Structure 1
């Protein structure tokens, strides 16, 4: 609920603090005291349009702040947190309008766009003023009100329809995309098929490009490799064609021979001899390996040609499909999967067409079931609201809830358009309710709708001059209906009728004082004798009239009995 509302520098209000309670809160006061400024302040707080003309003369700015108590899972709390607000057990909203018309909004202590205030406003408060009947002015809200009133039959039918509608919409979207891109898919499939044929023809092996590059390098330098390896071999093991040429193995043997008779006399020299022996063995091993290398070294021009040809084939693949043959193989695997998917698109298109043929009659049947549930609820709603209007000084009025369905228009909410129509007088043709009623009548129509459809989804309702143009027993009925609505939600009412104010759980009086130059307004909660005096003033224009006070007491007693 809205626990507290502070207004500063707005219109005739200098500084006012409204402490609000659960149930029915009424705002009363003399004409011109600023009662409507309370509703105007609420409008600003909930994202209404700002105007520099609202700023009180002599003030730099107008300021409105509200404290709202909400459960932590309420949609308004979730939206406020999305906007960066800090929310614990209460949500603090604020709006400032400068004398130049600039506006700033704060939510939970954080600056926020005014648009977020508007979003929160629709979740928190339903304002029904003389010129602010947004729920009646928006056609989609007519459907929302009817669906809420219809309860479980509409809810279950709508859920079933939405499930089928989503499936149908998904199938249509996928079919449209596949059909629209058929040419692109065919071209892509041709490219992939050709590329896969290239790869299959070459049939590369993982790592083959690296191995062939090494072999090509070896074959290109085969003569030099043979000559160098031959020289190295001869230096190590000797040249068969030149027995006198020195070589490592012979030199090492001669060195060991020189030490042969001496190693027994010196351990250090024996160690050196051992190392010479190892050197001789190593030189012999290397010489043997060089001999094997020379024997295996191939100088085959035909092999060189085959290697170069294979490398050219692989290079052609690398230019198109990857940095290495391994990359080419990975690309080919992905291309094969994509080609298989594209090749199956025609099958998918046919399957989607079959699916749509199955879904459409199911969807039409679900839409008709939903429409039937809405028409049934519409008859009940229009009857209940028309009866309520009879208690709200609109006995000649008749409300009609029109449900018109177009099977060709399958929207997310069904095929129906819902419009609330009103014949304000007997014999008058029904017209859109927002056009057929005056401001006060609109508030009463909205009150009747809220009483009949009350679900508790909106925490607070505000009615401005809902009793305009009525009095007597009709005013008592309006007060009783407001009290009935207040059993499910917080209700704030601006009224000039004591018959309505008598039903309040809390009565707030807007009073004014004047020094001849500036008028200031304040708001105080009244109870006991003060409330009795205010009701008496509302009845007879004076607060100390014995007759008026007696009548006021009768109103309070009657309201108490009616609410018991």
Structure 2
């Protein structure tokens, strides 16, 4: 519910705090005190159009702030969290500021947010029924929503069954349209993939082959130099049979050890040097053997170089088309093969989808028929329930018609029905769309009747502005009773000028004005006991201290209390 509403610099209101309660909250006050500004403030808070003309004369801006109590699972809390609000707070604080230049800013849970977010939250939190603001009746889609809500479990069950089939049918048709509509593209793509796969299969690359061939090509291209260098190195280490007198490393190390032989027992330092010379001799022998093996294995076949270069050219052709390395080419080949298999199997998939759509069509049609029947049954019940309510709201001659029009060829997520709520405001008049057939006050009373009979608790707060316009006496008492009935399942805020309605309030707020001769300022205060009795007396007789008016006011309070008991 909306717990607090603070309004600053809006119209005649300088600074007012409305502390609201569950149940029925009634706002009263003298003509011109600014009661309507309360509704205007709520409109701004929930995304209404900003108008610089609403800013109070002499003020730089108008500001409206609301504090809401919301259960943790309410969809409005989820939407606020998406907008950046602190989801951990128990309260949700909304704010709207309008500058004198008409610029507007919005805040949700302490974070700046687009004004549109306030509008989205408003549709989840508040239904405003003012003289010129009946959005639920002015939007045709809302007529269907209201009927479906009233229809309860039978409509909800039929709608869920239909929607499940509709989603399945839509998905199958979408995939089928995509596959059949892109048949030429698929054929061209399949040809390209097949040619590429055949090209790769013909060359048959091996993982890492490009790197191995690059190393081999480099070795073969420099084979003469590699052989000469290795021979010289081998001769330097292990000697050359063709040059017996040439010194070499292994022989020189052996001579050095011979020179030290017999001396190492006399000096441990010299013994360490001898050990190192022995290691050096072993290492020189090992390296010499490795060089000998290298020379034996060195391939100097010119034909092999030509083969390697030709193979590398073939692989380079693949690299230009399919990847930076042979491993990339092989990975691309694997993915292309999977895609080709999928494309090749599309004809089978098309046939399966065509069968699925054909099977779903009669099921969807039958589900749509059941939904239409459930709505038509609910429409008759709604007409009767609203007629009973209108009889108590000074509209006994009015007739409400809930028209369910069916188009068997139509398919939509909500069924094959168009729902329109029509009203014949007077006996003998032809029903017209309800938003055009009634005056502002009548429209509010029609909405009150609809809300009373269909309220499901999905909207936590209802606002009615001048719902009692043009009525009085016992009809006004009936309106108060209906508002009180609605307030048993939701918070209701009513702006009224009738004491008969105000007598039913759970919380009575009075907008009062004070003038210094130049500027009028309005504020809001809750009244109880004698103060409330005085306000009701003022509303009845124009003065608050009339004994007769006060007696009548007390009778109204007693009558309202008895009716609510």
Which bracket does the TM-score occupy, shorter chain normalised? over 0.9
Matches for 1:190-229 after TM superposition, within 5 Å: 190-229=191-230
SS in 1 for 2:428: coil
Match of 1:61 in 2: 61
RMSD over equivalenced CA pairs, Å:
2.6
Distance 1:227 1:405, change over 3 A: same
Q: 1:438 Cα deviation (Å)?
A: 0.4
Match of 1:130, SS state, is: coil
Task: Determine the structure 1 residue equivalent to 2:35.
Answer: 35
Distance 1:200 1:547, change over 3 A: same
Q: Secondary structure at the match of 2:512?
A: strand
Q: How does 1:6-17 map to 2 (within 5 A)?
A: 6-17=6-17
Q: Residue by residue, what CA displacement relative to the aligned partner does 1:36-82 show, whole Å, maximum 9, x if unpaired? A: 22222222222222222222333333332222222222222222222
The secondary structure found in structure 1 opposite 2:373 is helix
Partner of 2:450: 449
**1:196 aligned counterpart, secondary structure:** helix
CA distance in 2, matches of 1:522, 1:276: 108
Give the corresponding residue for 1:525: 526
Deviation (angstroms), 1:274? 6.5
Deviation larger for 215-224 or 141-150: 215-224
Of 276-285 and 125-134, deviating more is 276-285
Find the aligned partners of 1:219 and 1:395 in 2 and give their Cα distance. Answer: 108
Match of 1:356 in 2: 357
**Shift of residue 277, structure 1, vs aligned partner:** 6.1
* 1:93-104 → structure 2 map (5 Å cutoff): 93-104=94-105
- Give the Cα–Cα distance (whole angstroms) in 1 for the partners of residues 158 and 479 of structure 2: 35
| Counterpart in the other structure of 1:473 | 474
Distance 1:395 1:220, change over 3 A: same
Render the CA deviation track for 1:179-206: whole Å, top value 9, x for unaligned. 2332222222222211211111111222
Quick one: distance in 1 between partners of 2:274 and 2:9? 112
SS across alignment from 1:360: helix
SS at match of 2:488: coil
1:327 maps to which residue? Answer: 328
Partners of 1:16 and 1:279 lie apart in 2 by 101
Secondary structure in 1 matching 2:22: coil
SS in 1 for 2:530: helix
Equivalent positions of 1:397-412 (< 5 A) are: 397-412=398-413
Q: How many angstroms does 1:523 deviate by?
A: 2.6
Matches within 5 A, 1:553-564: 553-564=554-565
- Say which is worse superposed, 372-381 or 290-299, in terms of deviation: 290-299
- How far has the Cα of 1:268 moved from its partner? 6.5
- 1:227-266 equivalences in 2 (<5 Å): 227-236=228-237, 239-241=240-242, 243=244, 247=248
**Alignment partners' CA distance in 2, 1:437 and 1:453:** 20
Q: Where do residues 162-561 of structure 1 align in structure 2 (5 Å cutoff)?
A: 162-236=163-237, 239-241=240-242, 243=244, 247=248, 283=284, 286-561=287-562
Equivalent position of 1:24 in the other structure: 24
Whole-Å Cα distance in 2 between the matches of residues 259 and 59 of structure 1?
110
Q: Which moved more, 1:100-109 or 1:401-410?
A: 100-109
More moved, 552-561 vs 314-323: 314-323
Structure 1 counterpart of 2:44:
44
Separation (CA, whole Å) in 2 of partners of 1:187 and 1:114: 50
| 1:241 Cα offset (Å) | 4.8
**Secondary structure of the residue that 1:417 maps to in structure 2?**
strand
Q: Quickly say closer, same or farther: Cα 1:377–1:243, change in 2 above 3 A.
A: same
Summarize deviations over 1:312-365 as a string: whole Å, max 9, x none. 222222222223222222222222122212222222222222111112221111
Distance 1:270 1:14 in 2: 107
Q: Shift of the alpha carbon at 1:486?
A: 1.0
Q: Following superposition of structure 1 onto structure 2, how do residues 42-121 of structure 1 map, counting pairs within 5 Å?
A: 42-86=42-86, 88-121=89-122
C-alpha distance after superposition, 1:212-250 (max 9, x if no partner):
233333333333333344444455555555555555566
Q: What is the Cα deviation at residue 161 of structure 1?
A: 1.4
Evaluate the alpha carbon distance shift between residue 13 and residue 245 of structure 1 in structure 2; reply closer, same or farther with a 3 A threshold. closer
Tell me which moved more, 315-324 or 390-399: 315-324
TM-score by length of 1: 0.92
- Alpha-carbon deviation of 1:448? 0.2
Unaligned runs of 5+ in 1: none
Please say which of residues 303-312 and 361-370 is displaced more in the overlay.
303-312
1:435 shift after superposition: 0.3
Q: How many residues align?
A: 564
Q: Deviations over 1:246-265 (max 9, x none)?
A: 55566566666666687787
Greater Cα offset, 457-466 or 23-32:
23-32
Moved more, 331-340 or 50-59: 50-59
Counterpart CA distance in 2 for 1:256 and 1:533 is 128
Q: Normalised by the size of structure 2, how large is the TM-score?
A: 0.92
Q: Distance in 1 between matches of 2:475 and 2:401?
A: 22
Change (3 A) 1:135 1:301: same
Superposed CA deviations along residues 502-527 of structure 1, whole A, max 9, x for unmatched, are 21222222233434333333333222
CA distance in 1 between partners of 2:111 and 2:258 (Å): 99
The worse-fitting range, judged by mean Cα deviation, of 485-494 and 212-221 is 212-221
Change (3 A) 1:30 1:318: closer
Does the C-alpha gap of structure 1 residues 206 and 396 become closer, same or farther in structure 2, counting only changes over 3 Å? same
